[in-house]
């Protein structure tokens, strides 16, 4: 599956940690995506990643439709959550979600290609706030997601320093 990111067979402990923030975000994204069976299984692709930012796409397949023949909200949530995860981990500090909300604005349909754009709004100490907007291929907003992050011990690439 094409992610727009390059991957290596080396373990994350063996990688040289880039010092350039954009190169570091790329390395983090490639490492995370290689281990992310959920995002891969849903057909998501990481199109762009930068410090505090990620853009992912996901096609809406027929097996993602609910009884109304629209994209099940759980799949919209999964796309937003994955974009949030790539965005908040992009600085190479292991980060998890501490909470999130989503507002569904319009339905997605089979054949749509959804885009989730996650942007860091605040980062202070161990916590952050990120907004994710999901649109369809026509630019119509389908959902707005806000995630709260919490930094934990460890790094995505390289050996984590002792804390």
Band the pLDDT of 17: cuts 50, 70, 90. confident
Residue 68 above 70 pLDDT?
yes
Average pLDDT taken over every residue of the chain? 92
Q: Which of 156, 3, 141 is nearest to 85 (CA)?
A: 156
Instruction: Report whether 25 contacts 91 (CB < 8 A).
Output: yes
Q: How far apart are CA 144 and CA 150, in angstroms?
A: 20
Per-residue pLDDT, 121: 99
Full-model pTM: 0.89
Which domains, from first to last, does the chain contain?
21-155 (3.10.129.10)
What is the mean predicted confidence (pLDDT) over 143-150? 99
């Amino acid at each position: 599956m094409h992610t727009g990111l390059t991957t290596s067979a080396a373990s994350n402990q063996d990688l040289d940690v880039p010092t350039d923030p954009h190169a570091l975000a790329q390395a983090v994204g490639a490492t995370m995506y290689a281990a992310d069976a959920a995002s891969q299984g849903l057909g998501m692709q990481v199109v762009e990643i930068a410090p505090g930012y990620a853009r992912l796409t996901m096609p809406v397949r027929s097996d993602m439709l609910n009884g109304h023949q629209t994209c099940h909200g759980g799949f919209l949530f999964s796309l937003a959550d994955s974009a949030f995860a790539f965005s908040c981990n992009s600085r190479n500090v292991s980060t998890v979600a501490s909470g999130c909300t989503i507002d569904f604005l319009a339905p997605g349909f089979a054949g749509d290609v959804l885009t989730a754009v996650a942007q860091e709004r605040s980062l202070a100490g161990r916590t952050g706030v990120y907004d994710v907007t999901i649109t369809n291929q026509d630019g119509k907003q389908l959902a707005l997601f806000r995630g709260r992050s919490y930094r934990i011990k460890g790094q995505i690439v390289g050996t984590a320093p002792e804390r």
